[in-house]
Amino acid sequence: MSRITSIEELEAIYSGVTEASTAKVADRITPEYRRLIEGSPFVALATAGPEGLDCSPRGDLAGFVRVHDERTLMMPDRRGNNRVDSLRNIVRDPHVALLFLIPGLTTTFRVNGRAFLDTDESLLDSFAVEGKAPRSVIVVEVEEAYFQCARALIRSELWNPQKHRSPKEFPTPGQILAALSEERVGGEAYDREWPERAAKTMW
C-alpha cells in the first residue's frame, strides 16, 4: 500500500482545479439552485455526532425541502423508525451536508451548512400532508451550495431502466432481520405485512 499522509501529497496527485469547479460555489441559494431544490424528491442528509458520521435518505413529494429564503432551507422530518440518529446528531453537532437527486437528471446538487430542529406548531402544520404534520422540521442555515458534475450518475447509469435490478436478486428486509436477530424478528411475515403497514404510516 502507498498511503497518502499529507495534503501536499494529495494535491500533487489531484492538481489543476478548473475555474468552473470554484465559480459554481455560492454562499446562498441562487434562483437557478432553487429550481433544482424544488424539483428534487430525494435528499441524502449527512450529519456528525460523538459516535461518528451518519447519512440518512430523505424522500418526499418533489420540492419537500422548502426554500425559506436564500440562506435558509426547511425539511420536514417524516415518519420513520424513531431511531432519530440524524436528529440526535444535529442537536449535538449542527454541521450537515445535503445531496439532492432529481430523477432523470444527471446533475446533482449539494448544500453544506448548520442545522437546528424547530417544533413550532404553525411551522409543522405548514408541512402537513394528508392532514399529518411532521414532529419536527430541520432548518438548515446555508453556508455553501453548488451543483456536482454529472460523471458519477453517468458512470452508474442510475436512471437507466435497462440497468434496474430485480428485488428477487437480493435478500429482503425480513430475511436480513431474521438472520441478524436469530429469527426473533423479521421473516416472511415481516415482508408480507410491510406494504400495508407502510401505506398506513407514510406520513
Q: Does the structure show a pLDDT above 90 at 1?
A: no
pLDDT, residue 147, reads: 97
Closest by CA position to 139, among listed 119, 111, 118: 118
Q: Does the structure show a pLDDT above 90 at 33?
A: yes
Instruction: Provide the b/e sequence for 6-39 (b: ≥16 CB within 10 Å).
Output: eeeeeeeeeeeeeeeeeebebeebeeebbebbee
pLDDT, residue 4, reads: 96
**Across residues 79-83, what is the average pLDDT?**
89
Torsion sign, CA atoms 134, 83, 74, 44: negative
Query: Rounded CA gap, 142 and 96, in Å?
Result: 10
Query: Rounded CA gap, 157 and 106, in Å?
Result: 9
The mean pLDDT value of the chain amounts to 95
Confidence of residue 16 (pLDDT cuts 50, 70, 90): confident
**Across residues 135-143, what is the average pLDDT?**
98
Query: Rounded CA gap, 19 and 166, in Å?
Result: 42
**Across residues 17-24, what is the average pLDDT?**
90
pLDDT, residue 18, reads: 87
Q: Does the structure show a pLDDT above 90 at 75?
A: yes
The three three-digit cell numbers of residue 170, written as one number: 437480493
Residue 153 neighbours by CB under 8 Å, 6+ apart: 106, 107, 108, 159
pLDDT, residue 17, reads: 85
Confidence of residue 5 (pLDDT cuts 50, 70, 90): very high
**Across residues 45-68, what is the average pLDDT?**
96
Q: Does the structure show a pLDDT above 90 at 108?
A: yes
**In contact, 154 and 177? CB cutoff 8 Å:** no
* Angle, helices 187-200/173-180, rounded to nearest 10 degrees: 130
pLDDT, residue 98, reads: 98
Torsion sign, CA atoms 7, 8, 13, 14: positive
Confidence of residue 80 (pLDDT cuts 50, 70, 90): confident
Q: Does the structure show a pLDDT above 90 at 101?
A: yes
pLDDT tens digits, 156-189: 999 999 999 999 999 999 999 999 999 999 999 9
pLDDT, residue 126, reads: 97
**Across residues 68-89, what is the average pLDDT?**
95
